[in-house]
Structure 1
């Protein structure tokens, strides 16, 4: 258990379909019978998720996908190809949007992710979803949210594992590296993005907010195994995940950190030969 207080997610709203159900792409026979619903899990326009599911009422494992974009940009529409790939494997897939840092400061993004998961679990029968068998997968800033969910409280009901692709698990490390490596434009941008996430407040002035954003500070024995993938030379180094791995280890929780040659980050890293397969195999071993 961590000494840092952990706010509860906001009350789960009743889901509302914001667009009519539509069939999945017809050019993939593995998606036969799959439909896509766009559902509101909160009142803000960003509190939406696309749900790729079957309508036969069977319970399927779930995969929640969280896009990246420096916490200030990005959209679920950029995750469509990856969403389709998991739906084709037979999972119910939740591709979520969340409030960006320009909409609300931390912890709004974590709260939105928790609310999306709570909405899905509460209404699992609508989407042929087993609420006690799911993983969360996040990319870059979305990897921060995924790993933050993985260390939230003493473990979320039904969560079996967390995957981060280039996850920014330590905004503080990003802040420090962006200040020391001034010639790396991406590290400088990530530092500024972390400051914006904290409500335009730097660590010295808002230490509690920055402590709340640090994933490893929330680790506990109830957490689930995690997988992280980084490139050897990307601007979000493996050190982010190695810090979390060491912290989880003290609680007896396993974490695997993989590194790939090159400097690809986030989705381009995921698309390197063999990476998606490694992630998919890890997920398959975690789910029942």
Structure 2
């Protein structure tokens, strides 16, 4: 991971950024501009990589994201980071990992919130939506979810697919979440609305917002007002 931090001895809230790319591609270098924007706002920013699905199947990606957070908390003093005051922001497949961190166990110490930009919180829904469709992006996402599961489809590997489903891990200690989707993109808001319903009985708030159009992930984040909405939500969660 790349760590953007100050050396003035102060402890700052942290932001972990998780890139997208169908779980099989992408790299933290594509998040540099967004990383800089949060560093300029005074946060300690951790821009992370994780094992891609072509190298390791689930849950390696979640494991790596959790390990990045644990490493940052362990060396908090080195990077001017308040280990009890951070959020995780993920884009597309990275939004799935961010949400998976937010529902891991009964909550992570210090995690104040999760933001998903076009988050694929339900690989099973992606699998179902990608069947019998002419939408090439939905078909690609279906294949990407199968690859994440080690090439195994749900009927043969139900435990793996259950583990990949963020909503299956809902519990009372989970982190509040903000999810943003475009109205006509290939990762519909249904992903996040499903998670919202699963977290509702536990009193964990999930805010789902939609934007007009079909922009996905980073292009949607760059639409007028979207980044500001995310930044305001984050500021309201950090101490």
Quickly name the TM-score band, shorter chain normalised: over 0.9
1:259 aligned to 201, 210, 216, which one? 210
Residue 180 of structure 1 and its aligned partner are, at CA, apart by 3.1
1:191 aligned to 142, 147, 151, which one? 142
Quote the residue 2:11 is aligned against.
59
Q: CA RMSD in A?
A: 0.4
For residues 140 and 201 of structure 2, what CA distance do their matches in structure 1 show?
32
Say if 2:110 is the partner of 1:139: no
Which structure features the higher share of helix residues? 2
Q: Unaligned stretches of 5+ in structure 1? A: 1-48
Say if 2:174 is the partner of 1:223: yes
Query: Bigger radius of gyration, 1 or 2?
Result: 1
For residues 234 and 72 of structure 2, what CA distance do their matches in structure 1 show?
19
1:112-163 CA-partner distances (Å, limit 9, x unpaired) = 0000000000100000000000000000000000000000000000000000
Quote the residue 1:271 is aligned against.
222
1:114 aligned to 66, 75, 87, which one? 66
Runs ≥4 in structure 1, deviation > 4 angstroms? none
Say if 2:158 is the partner of 1:207: yes
Quote the residue 2:108 is aligned against.
156
TM-score normalised per structure 1: 0.83
Quote the residue 2:20 is aligned against.
68
Q: Unaligned stretches of 5+ in structure 2? A: none
1:103 aligned to 39, 55, 64, which one? 55
Question: Which fold has the larger relative contact order, with Cα–Cα distance below 8 Å and residues 6 or more apart in sequence?
Answer: 2
